Homo-oligomer: A and B are copies of this chain.
Amino acid sequence: MAATLETVAKKAGVSVSAVSKALRGRSNIGEATKRKIDQVARQLRYRPNASARALASGRTETIGVVIRELNYLSDSYFGTILSGIAKVSDQNDMGLIFGRSLPEKRQEPEFLRMAMEARVDGMIIIDQVIPKKHLSRLADMRFPVVLVDQQIPGLSLPVVRINYQKVARQAASHLIGLGHRRIAVFSGVQGKYKFRAEIEGVKEAFGRGGLGFDETLLVTGEDGFMYAGAYQHVERMLRTAEPPTAFLTFTNGATAAVHHYARLAGLRVPEDISIAGFYSGGPEMTDIRPDFQVPTHEAGVRSCQLVMDLVAGQVSTSEIVLEASFDPRNGCGRSAGL
């Protein structure tokens, strides 16, 4: 059916290897024959067979992206990381395939198969809750892997991570400096590096400010799904005897929800309540100007560059830490009416 190198070679009256070279733009081929070959190939709609190419060359020209579940891609946290990855992989003509990290019915998680069956040349792992033992397997194989936003002691895999702790500390300190004493904190999934770092940063600031950490003012949940739920929590909190005067939100969804709630409830920001909001880009916040800028896109770019260096055999930096910025201008520019 489909044209092969041989088909093209025969029709063009040249050898298979000539066609192979010509079509891949190698220099050791005559100008005239190349033209002829190109023409025949186009006419026959020739396409190289990906499996054959991978088998012969040892490279799949594909990198794997590992996330927990596929619908996590919806979250703009993942979405913007991904757009960074896609940008770099496109530039380098590398394909992208996605693997779920959950084990499902097989013993082995899908991403381990991707590596062991040589379906990809390298991979980027964005899921933050993969058991260390699985990650170690990859390290043992010396398979090119880059972890994003993870911090696992005793594991020697390259990492690209964002310094959430510092920016969280800055934001919390700022709110405290404005006089806030009751600050609600919305973060993501407990146990993840991102969550741990954020809470750590907040606690540092609270400690310095002489504040205790009030668990009743902490809201957690799946990053991508916090918008709807956040409404209820804001409403509930504001009805208590001692309502929070400021909100510190570490997910896009929560940031958007708190801002939207305030607007709907007629609360002025920051006169009535302060909002220090996380922002990683994405479609849900076109109408909001948050105070954090979190370089998730950049994290994607860097992780993809890193994994491609690894694939090319170039040893690279093993840990890249990206700084987020906090610029109190929109949601918490001045002191709330305390």
Supposing A90-B104, A283-B225 touch, asked if A117 and B49 sit within 8 A by C-beta, the answer is yes
B231-A116 in contact (CB<8A): no
For residue A64, give the distance in angstroms from its CB to the closest CB of chain B: 10
Residues of B near A326 (CB, < 8 A) are none
Residues of B near A232 (CB, < 8 A) are 287
For residue A321, give the distance in angstroms from its CB to the closest CB of chain B: 26
For residue A91, give the distance in angstroms from its CB to the closest CB of chain B: 9
Interface size of A by CB at 8 A reads 47
Residues of B near A231 (CB, < 8 A) are 260, 264
Residue A284 interfacial (CB < 8 Å)? yes
A118-B2 in contact (CB<8A): yes
Residue A82 interfacial (CB < 8 Å)? yes
B224-A74 in contact (CB<8A): yes
How far is it, in angstroms, between the C-alpha of A52 and the C-alpha of B50 when the chains are bound? 11
Residue A125 interfacial (CB < 8 Å)? no
Residues of B near A2 (CB, < 8 A) are 116, 118
Residues of B near A119 (CB, < 8 A) are 50-51
Residue interface bits A221-232, CB-to-B below 8 A is 1, else 0: 010110110011
Residue A45 interfacial (CB < 8 Å)? yes
Q: Identify 17 residue pairs between A and B in the complex whose beta-carbon atoms are under 8 Å apart, listed by A's number.
A: A2-B116, A2-B118, A47-B113, A47-B116, A50-B51, A50-B117, A51-B51, A70-B73, A71-B76, A73-B74, A74-B74, A74-B75, A97-B97, A225-B284, A227-B228, A228-B260, A235-B264
Closest 10 CB pairs of A and B: A74-B74, A51-B54, A47-B116, A50-B117, A71-B79, A51-B55, A73-B73, A51-B51, A97-B97, A50-B119
A interface residue numbers (CB < 8 A to B): 2, 45, 47-52, 54-55, 60, 70-71, 73-76, 79, 82, 86, 90, 97-98, 104-105, 113, 116-119, 222, 224-225, 227-228, 231-232, 235, 256, 260-261, 264-265, 283-285, 287
